[in-house]
Amino acid sequence: MTNRQILLVSRPQGIPEPENFRLVETLLGDPAEGQFLVRTHYLSVDPYMRGRISDRKSYADPVALGALMVGGTVGTVVASRHDRYREGDVVVGDWGWQEYALTDGAGVYRFDTSLAPMSTAVGVMGMPGLTAYAGLLEIGKPNEGETVFVTGAAGAVGSLVGQIAKLKGCYVAGSAGSPSKVEHLTKELGFDAAFNYKDSQDYAAAIAEACPQGIDVFYDNVGGPVSDAAFTHINLHARVVICGQIDQYNAEQPPQGPRLLWNLIVKRARVEGFLVFDHGHLYRQAQRDISGWIKEGKIKYRETIVDGLENAPAAFIGLFHGENLGKQLVRLAND
């Protein structure tokens, strides 16, 4: 049968461009004994992938030129010669930007759609969900009544961080990149305050207004000047969770900024970077909690969906222009 895939064909300079990717048609055989064939329903595009397509030294080897683009995926089993998977099973994994995949099941997990819809398996119930849950609760450790400030607050991770912090009794503020995102945060997601950083001349003043009691937990998805300003507004014994630095991912030169370390002494503060892969032991617990909160109406999630594999590069590139509200997905087949 014919499969369609998207390959990485060149490394971006700065923000990725469509030319860095190429759509190809390939042939796929039938499952061998112990294999099964998956049809992709949703691809996840995420900021971290920018690091994976760079040749900058990082936590994982870069995607090779000419290789299938990586990414989280959810789909259904359409043919199986595997003991544990049957036709119709909904499975989640990392088989990348392709319409079909043959797999022996390594790194693939069954997803329980009674917990939440299929698309959430790569969003609020998947990697971004666990990222928010583990980063906030295990590293940020917010206490009731404390102030939590989140950058990239309208994104897949940030919007969940803020809502979980509200559930824990915190005052929550966030920054986002458009008036409609700011309204979404305060009107729909229950944030106490939010501001549009693209509309601000003075980030320190905007943060001071949004966080009148200072910041106890700073959950940073963005980096750069907004984060610099947040560092000047942290409280004694603050915890700063470095989840992402999307502002930096496309930098051509080693980015420079104000030195932040002195203020960590003054405030006896802690800054910690983390990767969700180190927190896999919390995956089931996070899914159980988040599913429950969604069903109780305590957590809302948004998805920005584009259709068609050929639109995956544009959806990915759009992340760096702030085009997504909540989780950015590419739909290849309906549920």
Q: Which is nearer to its own copies, 32 or 59 (CB)?
A: 59
Question: Does the protein bind its own copies through residue 274 (CB under 8 A)?
Answer: yes
Query: Smallest distance, Å, CB 242 to its own copies?
Result: 5
Compute and round to an integer the Cα radius of gyration of the chain. 20
Contacts of 111 (CB under 8 A, 6+ apart): 74, 90, 91, 92, 118, 121, 125
C-alpha 42, offset from chain centre: 15
Contacts of 256 (CB under 8 A, 6+ apart): none
Output the CA torsion sign for 55, 60, 65, 70.
negative
Q: Which of residues 13-72 bind its own copies (CB under 8 A)?
A: 57-59
Q: What are phi and psi of 118, to 5 degrees?
A: -55, -45
Q: How far is residue 172's CA from residue 186's CA, in Å, rounded to a whole number? A: 10
Query: Smallest distance, Å, CB 249 to its own copies?
Result: 8
Question: Does the protein bind its own copies through residue 266 (CB under 8 A)?
Answer: yes
Query: Smallest distance, Å, CB 261 to its own copies?
Result: 5
Question: Does the protein bind its own copies through residue 261 (CB under 8 A)?
Answer: yes
Q: Which is nearer to its own copies, 173 or 276 (CB)?
A: 276
Q: What are phi and psi of 64, to 5 degrees?
A: -70, 150
Question: Does the protein bind its own copies through residue 320 (CB under 8 A)?
Answer: no
Query: Smallest distance, Å, CB 45 to its own copies?
Result: 19
Q: Which is nearer to its own copies, 228 or 289 (CB)?
A: 228
Q: How far is residue 145's CA from residue 52's CA, in Å, rounded to a whole number? A: 38
Q: Which of residues 238-257 bind its own copies (CB under 8 A)?
A: 242-245, 248, 254-257
Stretch that binds its own copies, among 4-12, 153-161, 170-178, 236-244 (CB under 8 A): 236-244
**Number of residues lying near its own copies (CB under 8 A):** 35
Q: Which of residues 173-192 bind its own copies (CB under 8 A)?
A: none
Residue 293, Ramachandran bin (φ over 0: left; ψ between -120 and 50: alpha; else beta): alpha
Query: Smallest distance, Å, CB 224 to its own copies?
Result: 8
One of 22, 39, 52, 270 touching its own copies (CB under 8 A):
270
Query: Smallest distance, Å, CB 4 to its own copies?
Result: 33
Bridging pattern class, strands 21-27 and 36-44: unpaired
DSSP for 45-103, please give it: --TTHHHHTS-S--SSPPPPTTSBPP--EEEEEEEE--TT--TT-EEEE---SBSEEEE
Query: Smallest distance, Å, CB 269 to its own copies?
Result: 6
Query: Smallest distance, Å, CB 212 to its own copies?
Result: 18
Question: Does the protein bind its own copies through residue 269 (CB under 8 A)?
Answer: yes
Stretch that binds its own copies, among 37-45, 162-170, 216-224, 299-307 (CB under 8 A): 216-224
Stated as kind and residue range, the H or E segment containing 288 is helix 283-295
**Interface ranges with its own copies (CB under 8 A):** 57-59, 220, 223-224, 227, 242-245, 248, 254-275, 278
